[in-house]
Amino acid sequence: MSTVGLQLRELREKAGFSLRKAAVAIDIDVAILSKMERGERKLSKELVLKLAELYKTNSDKLVIDFLSEKVLYELEDEEFGFEALKVAEERMRYNKKSR
């Protein structure tokens, strides 16, 4: 399973952007973008959306993958991680119905 960072790197290369050109276009340091692509630095949702727009790709899958990585990072080492996910899903469904 590919990380969001690796997906963004592949999209950048496919779109024909060098690391430097992409970093300048979204106004971040080249080293930071490089670390994000390698998974050594956390991405933000805002940055994922900017890069998706720059690379002219649909952002939905990238945002879903970004959010899932965020959840995984928080819960993967927790003893009750799966149970917490189930409860969170139930709460999300309830909250959506209540609106």
Q: What is the pLDDT along the chain (99 residues), one digit of tens a residue?
A: 789 999 999 999 999 999 999 999 999 999 999 999 999 999 999 999 999 999 999 999 999 999 999 999 999 999 999 999 999 999 999 998 888
Task: Sketch out the chain's domains with CATH numbers.
Answer: 4-98 (1.10.260.40)
Closest CA to 39 of 5, 9, 71, 67: 5
CA dihedral 1, 39, 79, 64 (to 10 degrees): -60
Structure pTM? 0.85
